[in-house]
Amino acid sequence: MTGRKVLVTGATGLLGRQVVNAFESRGWDVKGTGYSRADGVSIIKVDLGNASDVERVLDETKPQVVVHCAAQRFPDKVDKDPEASKALNIEASRSLAKLCAARDILLIYISTDYVFSGKPGEAPYETDATPGPTNLYGQTKLDGEVAVIDEYKQASKEGLGIVLRVPVLYGKAETPSESAVNVLMDAVWKAQEAESKTKMDHWAIRYPTNTEDVGRVCHDLANKYLETTDKNSLPRILQFSSEDNMTKYEICQKFAEIMGLSMDGIVANTEGNDPNASVQRPYDCHLSTKALKDLGIDVSTNDFVGWWRREVHAFRH
């Protein structure tokens, strides 16, 4: 299986780093793109909004596969800067898809469970369920999905442009703020000394999924799609998720238990969305992994508590 090349966008990010690891550890030749953290060697500095920049890197690296992890993925940040978020999540994805399709490159576009409304009683969502984002972040990622699939369709290369939806991610982080899950570990520590109590959401159900597992699935999908002659027989949209379900408050409880810390400073907030908040969170966007299973892709995941116990054992001495 050697001699295969992959280019990972957003390779310096929480997910991108693990996608790089997944392909490298399985013998692929891997290059990544970054912007602020690019080293110019394994991580090439690319402005994804600049088509000629993207074209140059595709022609220099000649990948068979591009895994597109780069995105503005924090709902609050999308709301604060909608134009820049649309430019990256939609327009840069469209441009990348067009350039990849013209070169017969398989593109895996990483999307989100937030493309769904998450109304009580609707989950789990199959890949063909009707999307209905509740916030601008979900809408930009959905528009990005449509753009990618559309560009490949126009180029008559449908089987090469695919979408992989994932839920909230956790994993090895350079700073806790990289992940909406890792940052909760910080919250539990800070609550130990805090004067006032921290309110923590105990309404929306999350399915925290490990970045290592997503990396493996991206690799296995790349192999599957490259090796299948009749690509039109393969699905365009796939979904991957852990089955561990918990609210943010329950995640904090697990962290407190792992580290032997008190939960006294954290109170459960069961109110749900503040109707005046600009970002409305879905209640339950559980993604069905049936389409991946049907392809024979391994959908097993790290056990949440088990992974964190191994990760934080240093804190316990």
Check 109, 137, 225, 249 and give the catalytic one. Answer: 137
The enclosing H or E element of 170 equals strand 169-170
Residue 45 has φ and ψ, to the nearest 5°, of -75, 120
* Residue 35 a catalytic site member: no
255/18 Cα distance (integer angstroms): 22
∠ Cα 231 52 225 (to 5°): 15
Please check whether residue 28 is in contact with residue 59, taking contact to mean a CB–CB distance below 8 angstroms: no
Catalytic machinery residues: 137
